């Protein structure tokens, strides 16, 4: 069966799955409905989480993952309004991807960039 889970930094080296921490245990929520998973993700964003990605994954794959890392799992039926807990952990095992620094250093002038560009074009 396909279920929907929330991932942070999906398809990167720093990917993390959303879990609920209960005492010393972590629990992965598997949503039957993509809309319910999306709604839960929006509620997480309202709690200052980075934007999660809703991913469809086979439930057996999630269960196998949970067994391998000693996590619990819970299937959230379609239409159930799951609400994130008010308390959040302060340190995650994954970190938000840093924003790319698009601000070019002013040390490199436009003339130098144009010169480099011409030389590279000359190599072609």
Question: Cα 74 to the chain's mean position, in Å?
Answer: 19
3-class state of residue 116 by DSSP: helix
Examine the pLDDT at 49 and tell me if it is beyond 90.
no
Tell me the mean pLDDT in the region 88-105.
Answer: 53
- For 79, 108, 122, 124, the CA distances from 114, given in Å and listed in that order, are 58, 10, 12, 16
Examine the pLDDT at 101 and tell me if it is beyond 90.
no
State pTM to two decimals: 0.69
Q: Identify whether the C-beta of residue 72 lies closer than 8 Å to the C-beta of residue 66.
A: yes
Confidence of residue 79 (pLDDT cuts 50, 70, 90): very high
Distance CA 17, CA 93 (A): 10
């Amino acid at each position: 069966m396909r279920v929907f889970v929330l991932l942070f930094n999906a398809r990167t080296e720093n990917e993390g799955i959303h879990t609920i921490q209960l005492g010393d245990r972590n629990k992965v929520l598997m949503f039957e409905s993509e809309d319910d998973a999306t709604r839960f993700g929006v509620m997480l964003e309202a709690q200052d989480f980075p934007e999660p990605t809703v991913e469809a994954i086979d439930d057996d794959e999630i269960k196998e993952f949970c067994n391998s890392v000693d996590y619990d799992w819970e299937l959230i039926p379609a239409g159930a309004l799951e609400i994130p807990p008010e308390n959040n952990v302060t340190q995650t095992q994954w970190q938000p991807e840093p924003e790319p620094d698009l601000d070019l250093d002013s040390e490199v002038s436009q003339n130098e960039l144009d010169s480099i560009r011409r030389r590279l074009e000359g190599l072609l």
